Amino acid sequence: MTDMERPLQPPGRLRGLASWQVNKASTLGARLTAQRMQLSARADFAVLAALEEYGALSQAEIGRRLGLDRNDVNGVLNRLESHHQVGRQVDPADRRRNVVSLTPAGRAYLEELQQHTDAVQDTLLAGLSAEERQQLHYLLTKLLASHQPQPA
């Protein structure tokens, strides 16, 4: 095989960097996700997943948990609320703020989005066995846990 027949590759110094590889995998994952879901749906998924896991939260708490600006969260919540996928109620512990909760319609939408994200993960990780996928997940979780959370 001649040099012209081989696929072009970046230099080995780059390929040897975990940070470079993780960035490339992240870019690939984002592109695959964009093929299946609009950008707004990705934000919806994050907010709905937080509400499902943690229960009713204030807008500020959603932003802190997801590393998102409160104003961006407000836009997502307005869209979800217009589709009856979340509800806002006055917080009984502090009547100056609202808490947001997941509705049955929001739970159904979250399940629909989960199907898309599962398909993306299957495509992204197609070259790995089930055991390797678990190992990758474990290692990435361990790596991220060893650093302070970063804003999104």
- Nearest to 73, CA basis, from 106, 46, 39: 46
Q: What is the pLDDT of residue 152?
A: 58
The amino acid present at 25, given as its one-letter code, is A
Q: Domain segments of the chain: what residues?
A: 37-145
- The CATH number of 37-145 is 1.10.10.10
H-helix or E-strand spanning residue 150: none
Summarised one tens digit per residue, pLDDT across range 36-93 is: 999 899 999 999 999 999 999 999 999 999 999 888 999 999 999 999 999 999 988 8
